[in-house]
Copies of this chain bind each other. A is one copy, B any other.
Amino acid sequence: MTWKMLMFSATAIVIGGVAGLSVIAEADTPAATAEGSPIFGVTLPPGYRDWQFVSIAHEEGDKPDIRVILGNDIAMKAFREGTLPFPDGAIIARLAYKYESSARNNAIFGRDQSFVAGEPTNVQIEVKDSKRYAGTGGWGYGQFEDGKPNPSEKVVNSCFACHSKLPPATDLIFTTYSK
Query: A interface vs B, CB < 8 Å?
Result: 28, 30, 49-53, 55-61, 66-68, 70, 80, 95, 97, 99, 102, 104-105, 108-109, 111-117, 120, 162, 165-166, 174-175, 178-179
- Whether the pair A70, B57 counts as a contact (CB closer than 8 A) is no
Copy count, this protein chain: 2
Contact of A56 among B30, B117, B175 (CB under 8 A): B117
A149 CB to nearest chain B CB (Å): 18
Q: Which residues of B contact A104 (CB under 8 A)?
A: 166
Q: List the 5 shortest-distance A-B pairs measured between CB atoms, nearest first.
A: A60-B113, A58-B115, A61-B113, A108-B165, A117-B178
In contact, B112 and A60 (Cβ under 8 angstroms): yes
